[in-house]
Chains A and B, each alone.
Chain A
């Protein structure tokens, strides 16, 4: 590997170019957007001039009309949609995690039709979002159920994220040594105690991953929400409808805050995962070495 031929060098630099392209395509737009959130200029001019924090102020105080001095600038209150999306995200994450964990534990057994039912549980991630959203909307109308975020909304959001939770738990349980559970039950622990004190603590990283996936997928969900939420406006829906009027620095400041908050959330998860991995898996591995 040390002696590189010309072909290898070409390969190396070309593939490096592609990696740079990926990183630029992923991060340049986010950085440009963030830089434009620090200006009052409504025309999305890059590089930004007249730097100020006013769009953040407008975002925090949509009721203070005197801040919106630019002709034709749309005033949008994002707090309602944001609260709705946060609430729906948390609820979705919790329900999907509980159902996904229960199903994954059940799928450790063999039973008739196991493979087909496994596939059935994955359907939620395969069905195109728009079809599911339209279907639930039509169903709700047919049975006189009002489509709201806490009825049809929660239903399809969990249907969407549950397969992810299920797969996460399946992957973790595949590596799970069941003798640990057997040992606990032979020592007299009840089924519930085994779950509470043995299975669950070991699955903690999976639970956190499942909650993180459930929350983020629901928080960003648009394809199903477009029709499934009825009159309720989630944050992605509010953002889409705002872009049909005019994209202002207030949108960019909201985008920047959400981007930074999301990345922080993932980083916190990774740090916790790392800590759990050290605590739970390293001692066992060290023992094997003896």
Chain B
């Protein structure tokens, strides 16, 4: 392959490839690799380790004691929260895909001009740049006692009195999560769909395929990398999310991230670490499942 111009200055092209592969990564890669090791790999490994430590009063004591892990794994509340986390992931993913894919389909197939497509696409992506805590907070006046939904239902005569049942529960949390993470789906799926050329679609149509069959058998498979990429980001963000549950979910029904944080805030470090380790395992399993659908490494 090519050698660096930056490192070796002038090197005649004919010499290229003669040196073969270098044994070590170039110097320029080291700062980033070291930074990631110190700020991500070591801390994550440390969390798994501290799960084995003991708490003596407020003091963390080094040990190889599986007591915390076994306490966690034999606790039915813990497994309830694991299932709740996975279920929320499934629900949110199903909703953002179920809503986001058709929306992307409409932009790619039914919006005529390319500039209009770009403009609508920008609209669907822009809110990603608005602080996510603020976007969670915006659901309070939507669902609150005197909020938009209550106001509308009162006007329509469906409700006689404002209801406080819409906010601070898992439905409100799910809706907020969907609105938060749908920004990851529409863009990537649109790019997948817009790359399919008109001849391919015409071929499918002329062979007698209905729009539904064409979509299911031709377009969706070709847009798969976008679907998986969007799902990947939604998964990573969602699994670490505790604020949505705290702000609009009622703060009584945490997912694993929230559970770990609560243990940490009450200084129960080994249990916080054990729960975080469990979250890590679940994250890895879910990401592995996504990579079975499509291996994103092929895209880079």
Using CB atoms and an 8 Å cutoff, list the residues of chain A in contact with chain B. Answer: 5, 7-8, 11-12, 14-16, 18-19, 21-23, 25-30, 32-33, 36, 43-47, 99-100, 102-103, 105-115, 117-121, 123-132, 134-139, 141-142, 155-156, 158-159, 162-163, 166-167, 170, 178, 181-182, 185-186, 188, 190-191, 194-195, 199, 216, 219-220, 222-223, 226-227, 235-236, 239-240, 243-244, 247, 251-252, 254-255, 258-259, 262-263, 265-266, 270
Contact = CB atoms under 8 A, between A and B. Distances in A.
Contacts of B131: 219-220, 235-236, 239, 255, 258-259, 262
A239 B133 CA distance: 7
A257 to B, nearest CB: 10
A31 B273 CA distance: 40
B21 A111 contact: yes
A199 B103 CA distance: 39
Nearest to B140: A247
Contacts of B90: none
Contact of B127 (A15, A26, A132, A170): A26
A30 to B, nearest CB: 6
A159 B273 contact: no
Interface residues on B, range: 35 or more
Q: Mostly helix, strand, loop or mixed at chain B's interface?
A: helix
A45 to B, nearest CB: 4
Nearest to A236: B133
Given A106-B26, A109-B3, A220-B131, A132 B40 contact: yes
Interface string B1-44: 11111111110010000000111111111011101111111111
B100 A33 contact: no
Given A19-B103, A19-B107, A190-B9, A33 B257 contact: no
B120 interface: yes
Contact of A29 (B46, B139, B251): B139
Contacts, number: 326
B168 to A, nearest CB: 11
30 contacts: A15-B110, A18-B99, A22-B99, A26-B179, A33-B134, A99-B35, A102-B29, A103-B32, A106-B25, A107-B29, A120-B41, A126-B236, A128-B257, A130-B242, A134-B47, A134-B260, A134-B276, A135-B44, A135-B276, A136-B43, A138-B60, A158-B39, A159-B39, A170-B300, A178-B2, A185-B5, A219-B131, A235-B131, A251-B137, A266-B126
Could you say which of B33, B130, B134 has the most chain A C-beta atoms within 10 Å of its C-beta? B134
Given A113-B25, A185-B5, A239-B134, A44 B140 contact: yes
Given A18-B99, A43-B146, A158-B35, A263 B106 contact: no
B1 to A, nearest CB: 4
Nearest to A238: B133
A191 B5 contact: yes
In the complex, the 6 A-B pairs of residues with the closest C-beta atoms, listed nearest first: A135-B43, A159-B39, A29-B138, A106-B29, A103-B32, A129-B240
Given A22-B124, A105-B28, A131-B280, A111 B22 contact: yes
B204 interface: no
B100 A222 contact: no
A120 B142 contact: no
Which residue, of A8, A134, A163, A190, has the highest number of chain B Cβ atoms within 10 A?
Answer: A134
